[in-house]
Amino acid sequence: MRLDCSASVPERAVAARITVESGRTLALLGPNGSGKSTMLEVAAGLLRPADAHVTLGGADRVLCQDATAWLPPHRRPVTLLTQDPSLFAGMSVLDNVAFGPRAAGHGKRASREVARDWLDRVGAADIANAHASTLSGGQAQRVALARALATRPAVLLLDEPFAALDVDAAGHMRTLLSTVLADLTVVMSTHDVLDAAMLADDVVVMHDGAVAERGTRAEVLGRPRHSFTARLVGRGLVRVDASTWTAPRPSQVSLRLAADLPESSTAEDTWHGTVARVEGHDDVARVWVDTDAGDLVADVDPLIIDRRILTPGAAVACTVASDVETYPA
Amino acid sequence: MTSTMPTAPAPTLEGTPFAPRWLAVPAIAGAALIVLPLIGLATRVEWAQFPALVTSDAALAALALSARTVAWSTALVVILGVPLAVMLARLEFRGMDVVRTVILAPLVLPPVVGGLGLLYAFGRTGLIGERLTLLGIDIAFTTTAVVLAQTFVALPFLVFSLEGALRADGTRFEAVAATLGAGPWTTLTRVTLRRVWPALVAGTVLAAARALGEFGATLTFAGSLQGVTRTVPLEIYLQREADADAAVALSLVLVVVALVVVALAYGGATRVARARVASGRSS
């Protein structure tokens, strides 16, 4: 079901609007504190700002909140899964998953039947009778996912579903989600570009409580138009001219000291700038350069590069490979 | 994370206590102050006559009355106290601090003052009592008055134990239950109260124990009529001069009941809480 959620929450400096079309997965991409969770809480009805508008569906829409209307969270066909699985203690795994169907008024036996089915789909059928408090983080998050799916939500909201998991468990969870989310309408908040790249159809980038840009996954992640998005996906972003951008990958940019540049060289694909910061990425040094046209980033081999380049403030010349795509602003 | 966490408390190295050793002196003195009277009581019991003393007509009447009234007042405490604790913990309203302070009052008031207050509220000439009398309902100096007096003094024990637990537990799980489609009542009964169960049990037991020991408010508001309002504490007080052996025997019964109840309930609650801390960090 289509979700349209707009809200202004001055207490948290958030003002944004997100929409997701029926059957699609929207990634809400941004760092901590950018307002992702706030938007999900408004959609779920856990936060009730004075100024918000939440509707579900198209023609036969369900009005969740506007200036006068208010649908409490338990009446919204929306389920929120947070990074903390929050399984109910004192209940078996099976009864945790059966909680939603039970709350919807189904009998104990029928609810457990449904729960068993969902546990099977998330690959947790073998722990159905375990006590919720005995599970590992990865297992618990699987069960929490089954519990959320068992409510058959019209829209599933995932708030940083991998943030509390270790690398292995997060990987398994990502693979699992890529199969179970296929036909659902989903909004997933994440600070990890990989989640958006692997799971989303559409991406909304949030920055400082507002939407920085939005579009299809390929458009937003492949052709960033906001310096913040470019930084998230680990690319530089410069204006080639007034109406054209380019976002080269770190491997497509080479650096040398500005002083070493032959005086005659005024090639179009060379930008002058100063080194802003240097990060370690495995065995390469990633150098971020401020230029007049935007930021560029280059991966260099610290073993062979002139060390003066690795010093913030160094004046450098950046050369971008000729095959890098340019696109309209 | 949970699978590798030890379930036993972390061992402390011997010879490195985390408190000054001299604390033992006042600590032992404090324990002695409580234990010595109990021992003193036990040494005065006429063990040969004990069965006869606690099965006399007066003693049996008092024991039966206490059992009956404590059962009623404990039920009332739960029925009234749980909603009160939930209101205080979950709702924000003006004057909440005032309400909380007033509800705390029976904890610190001398019970005889509470009894007087009950008399002027529910007594024949009291605030509400006058109207009740017109309807043919007399509360003062009846068994109902005993139950009211016990409920009055015992209610805060449950309310504060439960309110604290509810606040500490937070609303995270309630939010989860709501997004899963559970209405407020389902959430309260199946999620919230289940999570604060140890505090509910401990609070109820404390309240029941307080009701069982109620004396001042009962005497003031309900009087001391055998089989009607003379509970065990009143019987003990009455027999204290007439038949000290009977008073001591009944006292011992109360001591044993109190110790057993507190040990069972508190032990159970503490075990549950410990188990939850040890294994439930991730849940």
The reported pLDDT for the residue numbered B1 is 41
CB contact under 8 A, A148 and B180: yes
B76, B158 Cβ separation under 8 angstroms = no
Does residue B261 lie within any of the structural domains?
A: yes
pLDDT at residue B283, rounded to an integer: 37
Task: Work out the average pLDDT over A9-21.
Answer: 93
- pLDDT score recorded for residue B105: 87
How high is the pLDDT of residue A265?
Answer: 58
- Termini Cα distance of chain A: 32
Average pLDDT score over residue span A272-291: 92
Residue in chain B closest to A148 (alpha carbons) equals B180
**Shortest Cα distance from A269 to chain B (angstroms)?**
51
| Res. B2: pLDDT tops 50 | no
**Interchain pair B172, A45: CB under 8 A:** no
| Predicted pLDDT of residue B10 | 52
What is the per-residue pLDDT across A56-89, written as a single tens digit (0 to 9) for each?
987 778 888 888 889 999 999 999 998 889 999 8
Which residues have C-beta within 8 Å of that of residue B96, sequence separation ≥ 6?
A: B88
Residues of B in Cβ contact (< 8 Å) with A100: 180-182
The total number of structural domains that make up chain B: 1
* Alpha-helical runs (H) found in chain B: 24-43, 50-54, 57-90, 96-108, 111-122, 129-134, 143-169, 172-179, 184-186, 193-195, 197-212, 216-222, 232-242, 244-279
Q: Which two tokens stand for residue B234?
A: 């009143």
Q: How far is CA A320 from the centre of its chain?
A: 28
CB spacing of A151 vs B180 below 8 angstroms: yes
Q: Determine whether the interchain pair A74/B172 forms a contact, defined as Cβ–Cβ distance below 8 Å.
A: no
Give the mean model confidence (pLDDT) for residues B209-227.
92
Q: Show the domain range for B82.
A: 47-279
Contact between residue B239 and residue B254 where contact means Cβ atoms under 8 Å apart: no
Q: For A299-308, B5-14, B193-202, which range has the lowest pLDDT when averaged over its residues? A: B5-14
pLDDT for position A291: 92
Residue B269 reports pLDDT greater than 70 = no
Least-confidence region, from A265-269, B60-64, B145-149, B161-165: A265-269
Superfamily for the A3-228 domain: P-loop containing nucleotide triphosphate hydrolases (3.40.50.300)
Cα-trace Rg, chain A: 24
Q: What is the widest separation between alpha-carbon atoms in chain B?
A: 72
User: Which pLDDT tens digit goes with each residue over A292-322?
Assistant: 889 999 999 989 888 889 999 999 999 888 8
Query: Nearest to residue A320, comparing CAs of A220, A246, A263?
Result: A246
Are B60 and B253 in contact by the 8 Å Cβ rule? The answer is no
User: What is the DSSP annotation of B119-178?
Assistant: HHHHSTTSTTHHHHHHTT---TTSHHHHHHHHHHHHHHHHHHHHHHHHHHH-SHHHHHHH
CA-CA distance, A176 to A121, in Å (whole number)? 9
A contacts of B181 (beta carbons < 8 Å): 74, 79, 100, 103-104, 151
Give the CATH number of the domain where residue B247 resides.
Answer: 1.10.3720.10
Residue B207 has pLDDT above 60, yes or no: yes
A151 touches chain B (CB under 8 A): yes
- CB contacts of A135 in chain B (<8 Å) are 2, 282-283
How confident is the model over A151-193, as pLDDT tens digits? Answer: 999 999 999 988 888 888 888 888 888 888 888 999 999 998 9
B200-204: average pLDDT:
91
Q: Tell me which residue in A45, A99, A140 faces B282 most closely, judged by beta carbons.
A: A140
- The pLDDT assigned to B278 comes to 53
Which residue matches tokens 């309310």? B159
- pLDDT at position A224 is 92
User: Quick one: average pLDDT of A275-282?
Assistant: 90
Q: Indicate the average pLDDT of chain A.
A: 90
Domain map (residue ranges) of chain A = 3-228, 235-328
Lowest mean pLDDT among A35-49, A258-272, B235-249: A258-272
Give yes or no for residue A131 having a pLDDT over 60: yes
CATH topology of domain A235-328: OB fold (Dihydrolipoamide Acetyltransferase, E2P) (2.40.50)
pLDDT of residue B6: 46
- Give pLDDT tens digits for A211-238: 999 999 999 999 999 888 998 888 999 9
Cβ partners under 8 Å of residue B50, min gap 6: B249, B252
Q: Which two tokens stand for residue B210?
A: 């307080």
ipTM score of complex: 0.83
- Assess whether pLDDT exceeds 90 at residue B12: no
Most A CBs within 10 A among B180, B187, B200, B272, hence the mutation to make, goes to: B180
Kindly report the average pLDDT of chain B as a whole number. Answer: 86
Q: What is the pLDDT of residue A263?
A: 62
For B225, residues 6+ apart whose C-beta sits below 8 A from its C-beta are: B141
Residue pairs spanning A and B at CB distance below 8 A: 92
Residue B69 belongs to some domain of the structure: yes
A103 touches chain B (CB under 8 A): yes
Nearest to B141 by CA among B66, B217, B86: B217
